[in-house]
Amino acid sequence: MVLKSLEQERMRIAYESVMCVKNKPFEEKYSSLVKKLPAMITQNGLLTTLAFLKSKGKDEHNEIIKNICEYLSNRFGEEINSYEVLIDRLLNSDMTLYLFYTREVLSFAVWLKRIAEGELKTDKE
């Protein structure tokens, strides 16, 4: 059994997430959005960012929510399989736990951004 660092695990999950989007119709939109994700979380907070993504409801927005849920499920061994479960978890956590989740998602978002920059087509908006 090979022990992996937390950063290696984040990178692996981010890589798999990004590669699942490659060659899909919304690849370029996802790429553009995921590149903005770390800044969105930093400036607006995790809950606000998630609410924004959900409100848009497009494939690329839903895919990012799915990526975050899958990452947190893998990271903590808990079943966070939907937006509703994630929001419930965040709303019912104390400030320390909320900030911990935010830091985790932010670290994951940085990897999504890095990998998308190298692997996905760029949106030509």
DSSP the chain: -----HHHHHHHHHHHHHHHHTTSTTHHHHHHHHHHHHHHHHHH-HHHHHHHHHHH--HHHHHHHHHHHHHHHHHHTS---SHHHHHHHHHTS-HHHHHHHHHHHHHHHHHHHHHHHHHSPPP--
pLDDT per position as a tens digit, 52-76: 999 999 999 999 999 999 999 998 8
pLDDT per position as a tens digit, 4-22: 798 999 999 999 999 999 9
pLDDT per position as a tens digit, 76-116: 888 898 999 999 999 999 999 999 999 999 999 999 999 99
Domains and CATH numbers, the chain: 15-119 (1.10.520.30)
Q: Is the pLDDT at 125 greater than 70, yes or no? A: no
